[in-house]
Amino acid sequence: MRLAMGIEYDGSRYHGWQIQEEGVDSVQNQLEQAISKVANHPVSVQCAGRTDTGVHATGQVIHFDSESVRTERNWLLGTNVNLPFDINVTWVKPVSDDFHARFSALDRSYRYVILNRKSRSAIWRDRAVWVHHDLDVERMAEAAKHLVGTHDFSSYRALGCQAKSPVRTVSQLDVTQEKDRIIIEISANAFLHHMVRNIAGVLIAIGKGEQSTDWSREVLEYRDRTLGGVTAPPQGLFLVQVGYPEEYELPENPPF
């Protein structure tokens, strides 16, 4: 039987999603240990999107296979009992064998949170990036428009990115303000390594007035990461939603 799970986690204490060498903790490692205890056999999980060190998720999706007979409630409660406080299963659902958390996904959505005020925050320190310079949200939103659509995002991916193609389709890229927080919302069919953080870095520089609103387009046209500005820090980034075909009837993740 194949099961899908919705996962949320605070990535502050983990070296990203993927299992690392012995002694280095990851979200995947914790989940596989917890689910294996409930299944009474070793379990390997696949995720929709591998997040980096310090990156969070409210809408991660995983799948795994098990012949152990458990109710959905028992899978959920049993797994959560065996997880640390900063990782949580939000839902469980049996799926067909052709479902794959990564390859069945139609799109993914991320949120990048910027705390824009003069003083730092004790509460938001690991869940937002603090920028004390005044940011012009309207300039950031205008610059973001250049990146919507299907483009070669070579300038916006990590130098070590191993994706075969740098072409991605961004369906949404909005910049809004909620009191002292600036929110970047982005959805795409898939993302390159560091793509969201590199986009955030460019938009922050434009918001500071260091570059023109056309700079985001110019960086895109360079197709050269070395000309693409600073990579924004990881702690403001959240994977908030993964979209799948309706046939799988997966639950919606809790709002964030």
Any idea which residues carry the catalytic annotation?
A: 52
d(C-alpha 4, C-alpha 191), whole Å: 21
Tokens of 81: 């009992």
* CB 57, CB 256: distance < 8 Å: no
63: three-class secondary structure by DSSP: strand
Go through 129-161 and write b for each residue having 16 or more CB atoms within 10 A of its CB, e for each that does not: bbbeeebebebbbbbbebbbeebebbbbbbeee
Give the tokens for residue 170.
């961004």
CA of 115: how far to CAs of 11, 122, 124, 222, 228, in Å? 18, 11, 8, 30, 23
DSSP code of residue 48 = S
Rounded Cα–Cα distance for residues 256 and 8 (Å)? 11
Write down the number of H helices and E strands in the chain.
5, 10
The distance from CA 220 to its chain's CA centroid, rounded to whole angstroms, is 21
The dihedral built from the CA positions of residue 151, 155, 156 and 158, taken in this order, carries a sign that is positive
Rounded Cα distance between 119 and 253, Å, is 32
Q: How far apart are CA 116 and CA 130, in angstroms?
A: 6
Find where tokens 């260091």 sit: 210
According to the annotation, is 110 in a ligand binding site? Answer: yes
**Which residues line the annotated binding site for substrate?**
110
**Which residues line the annotated binding site?**
110
